Amino acid sequence: MDLQTCLKKMELVGVLAFATVDKSGAPQIRNISAIHYEQDALYFFTARGKNFCEELLSDGRVQILAYTKYKEMIRLSGKAYPVDDEGQVKWREKIFEEQPYLANVYPGDTKNIGIVFCIDKAEIEYFNLGVNPIFRETYSLGDVTINQKGYVITEKCLGCGECRKVCPQSCIDEGSPFKIRQNNCLHCGGCYEKCPAGAIIKK
Ligand code: SF4
Ligand code: SF4
């Protein structure tokens, strides 16, 4: 798996869930399909009067979720910003060309109420529950630092093997210390709870 394949899969899913945070700090989710994909950015269209737009302009943080029929989850976490005036026309036309239904929703010049946002810096998590063991990996779009998640075994490990007994994905290898195969870990926390030595830490 890689970044470009993740973007392609998002495009194939088509309708994605976009999560933002409103003025009161409450989560808000909308389904969006007016999206154009470039190799290094996503562009999406909404209307200026929508609360969604207000949330994007005031905060910008957005999380996008795609889920495929093969049990793959792709989650993008980034910040959206409105493109410049020239880009507004260029990307809006591109999005309308690729999504013909939009001409029905915003016929003629009514599409001028729209605004195009761009996301060109984001973290993209790929999580496949349809394979054994499960597989996960994280990629960066643009210049972003990836937030490490999950669990890691430290030098305090005694080598007792208790963690391996409770791991649903059998993704802990023996060694000194024992080691979690990060690409196959569910982040369930079973090993963390079971370790008698407190050798496992949450990243
Ligand atoms: S349960 Fe803790 S001490 Fe035992 S092998 Fe696993 S990490 Fe090491
Ligand atoms: S967090 Fe869960 S899946 Fe990951 S190593 Fe620990 S027990 Fe296994």
32-41 pLDDT tens trace:
999 999 999 9
Buried b (16+ CB within 10 A) or exposed e, 27-60: eeeeebebbbeeeebbbbbbeeeeebbebbeeeb
Q: For residue range 134-177, what is the model confidence (pLDDT) as tens digits? A: 999 999 999 999 988 999 999 999 999 999 999 999 999 999 99
pLDDT at 12: 96
pLDDT at 194: 97
Cβ distance 47 to 54 under 8 Å? no
Ligand 2 pocket, 47 CB below 6 A?
Answer: no
Cβ distance 85 to 152 under 8 Å? no
Ligand 2 pocket, 162 CB below 6 A?
Answer: no
Collect all residues with Cβ–Cβ distance below 8 Å to 184 and sequence separation of at least 6. 133, 134, 135, 136, 169, 171
Q: For residue range 50-108, what is the model confidence (pLDDT) as tens digits? A: 999 999 999 999 999 999 999 999 999 999 999 999 999 999 999 999 999 999 999 99
Ligand 1 pocket, 161 CB below 6 A?
Answer: yes
Q: What is the dihedral of CA 129, 188, 200, 1, to 10 degrees?
A: 20
List phi, psi (to 5°) of 47.
Answer: -105, 145
**For the whole model, what pTM was predicted?**
0.93
Ligand 1 pocket test, candidate residues 164, 166, 176, 200, most atoms within 8 A of CB: 200
DSSP label of 24? T
